[in-house]
Structure 1
Amino acid sequence: LPKTSIDIKGMDFNAYSYGKSRIQKLPYLASTPLFLIRFVPSSHNLSMIRKSNVAYAFNYTKGYRLNSKSLHEDLVKYNGIYRKRDIFRTVLYPFERAFTRSRTRAFAKRCLYRAICDHVDSKHAFRVSGIFYFAFKEPLVGKSKRTFLKDHINIAVKKLILDSKFQASLSQMVQFQNKA
């Protein structure tokens, strides 16, 4: 088990690019309108390229311009005389900014570490050995969204340890993918 959140590392980028389509076929640990969480266990071939026993990987979708669905739709529809102004040409998607990506990644990593410390004992440590894959659909703006992520990471870690149906489904998919 990791001693600090810094002990949770990522995975090799080239291997991640190769294995991304395989990860996306694994069952969800959590699925919400804001993000998805999947788990690649240590028995999966992709797990060999992780940089630590408990690792993570992140993916971000574009989200909405200026973090607002209604504003995004209005900006897309607008064809008026101001269309050539900078506001329509600038990068307005939050995840296209390194600050947003790194802040989201650091917060999720701390939450994952805390959940593992709170719910995993040494007897179940092997169950969290692998890669936690996060796919964010929009940034965690506001305390309520950060709390939402924290709560769902806790639920996901508990599910990984206790849910025998999830474990069976994951094991079956891993065996299938390892043969391919």
Structure 2
Amino acid sequence: MKIRGCSIEIFRFKHDTVVRNFLSNSSGPVNLVKPISPMPQRTVPVLPNKYIEETTGAFQANFKNCKEFVKYRYNEEYPPSHIRNCLPEKPTDIKGVDQVVYKHVHRKQMIRKLPTLLSSKFFTLKFFPDSHHVSLARKSNIAYTFTNRGGFNLNDPLLAKSLTEYKGKYKKLAFFQEKLCPLDTAVGRAKYRKFIKRSLFESLHKYVKLPKDLDQVRGVFFFRFTIVPATESDKQQVMTDLDSALNVLLKSNSNYKSQLLNVVKEQNKAFRNGQVLVKEVKMYNTIGARNVPGYYSKLPYIDDMKKLL
């Protein structure tokens, strides 16, 4: 270490010399002041980490080349659960749809003509089965999507209506001009979506027990959010609503299922089994994605038109 062009040892020597010269001219004894001794350098011993167990080194691996490793690491015969005909293994296996679906479902009021699976104060839920051409653009066996349109000021429809109808002298204040809705923030939307996905995952594993049940829930769950659950009782109500929706979906002989099948046939015919949708989808997120080890199709069901009604 250097201080103003000199090392710390030289600085200490000069400092001691100045102090001793000063004390030699004074009446006090010099031996009362001890010189500053240089600090010894301390080394920290490197101890073995007892929490890390020794494993087979890279030089002892049984792979002769990188191709063998890729074949071992990315087994094409056993694809991820989200594209197999099974329930999702974790909530993140419930994925979304291609971005063109959002515009497509509003053509000729397609989403409005689809029967409502469930409507509550928190959301409205509709379902596109795998026999509907919209399901061709889903990214997982059981997918979900949503629209952020909606929501109420201060997360309360009655309070929002009262604020809108207010005509008093404070009407021009900034408080009455702005809209404070949880769904207007990225954090609010992300938290709500994650909660819905986790709740849907739990409901699926609770009620889907047989292969025929799995056939009924394959497709896209389309949510339209309205009110964000704020309390634990609200969250419990959302989970109860999703349970009710799945129970309706699993009933084969119901008015909802008969209406749904009729609308699916009508819309598949009107949109030529989704030929327009298939042409507009984005098959790859990046150039050369198919050459990446472990690549699986972004839209694994895009060519599965044989299931359409």
TM beyond 0.5: yes
Partner of 2:120: 32
> How much is the aligned-residue C-alpha RMSD, in angstroms?
1.9
Per-residue deviation, 1:83: 4.4
Show CA shifts across 1:69-98 (max 9, x none): 343234334455554543234441221111
Please say if residues 29 and 159 of structure 1, whose CA atoms lie closer than 8 Å, have aligned partners that are also in contact: yes
Identity among equivalent pairs (%): 34
CA distance in 2, matches of 1:127, 1:83: 51
Most deviating of 98-107 and 160-169: 160-169
Please say if residues 62 and 93 of structure 1, whose CA atoms lie closer than 8 Å, have aligned partners that are also in contact: no
CA distance in 1, matches of 2:128, 2:252: 16
Aligned pairs for 1:98-177 (under 5 A) are: 98-123=186-211, 124-165=213-254, 166-177=256-267
Query: Are 1:46 and 2:131 counterparts?
Result: no
Q: Which has the higher strand share?
A: 1
1:2 to 84, 88, 102: 88
Q: Unpaired runs of 5+ in structure 2? A: 1-86, 271-309
Per-residue deviation, 1:102: 1.2
Show CA shifts across 1:105-139 (max 9, x none): 11111111111111112412121110011112211
| SS in structure 1 at match of 2:147 | strand
Are the structure 2 counterparts of residues 61 and 71 from structure 1 closer, same or farther at C-alpha, using a change threshold of 3 Å? same
Are the structure 2 counterparts of residues 68 and 23 from structure 1 closer, same or farther at C-alpha, using a change threshold of 3 Å? closer
| SS in structure 2 at match of 1:58 | strand
Give the alignment's TM-score, normalised by structure 2.
0.54
Q: Which has the higher helix share?
A: 1
| SS in structure 1 at match of 2:150 | coil
Are the structure 2 counterparts of residues 71 and 159 from structure 1 closer, same or farther at C-alpha, using a change threshold of 3 Å? closer
Per-residue deviation, 1:58: 0.9
CA distance in 2, matches of 1:121, 1:150: 18
Return the letter of the residue paired with 2:236. T
Give the alignment's TM-score, normalised by structure 1.
0.89
Q: Unpaired runs of 5+ in structure 1? A: none
Most deviating of 83-92 and 148-157: 83-92
Please say if residues 229 and 235 of structure 2, whose CA atoms lie closer than 8 Å, have aligned partners that are also in contact: yes
Most deviating of 77-86 and 5-14: 77-86
Are the structure 2 counterparts of residues 117 and 97 from structure 1 closer, same or farther at C-alpha, using a change threshold of 3 Å? same
Q: How many pairs align?
A: 180
| SS in structure 1 at match of 2:144 | strand
Return the letter of the residue paired with 1:178. N
| SS in structure 2 at match of 1:141 | coil
CA distance in 2, matches of 1:99, 1:60: 13
The structure whose RCO (Cα within 8 Å, separation 6+) is larger is 1
Show CA shifts across 1:28-70 (max 9, x none): 2212233211110001011000111100011234332112334
Are the structure 2 counterparts of residues 74 and 19 from structure 1 closer, same or farther at C-alpha, using a change threshold of 3 Å? closer
Are the structure 2 counterparts of residues 92 and 168 from structure 1 closer, same or farther at C-alpha, using a change threshold of 3 Å? same
Show CA shifts across 1:125-173 (max 9, x none): 1211100111122111212221111011111112111242232221111
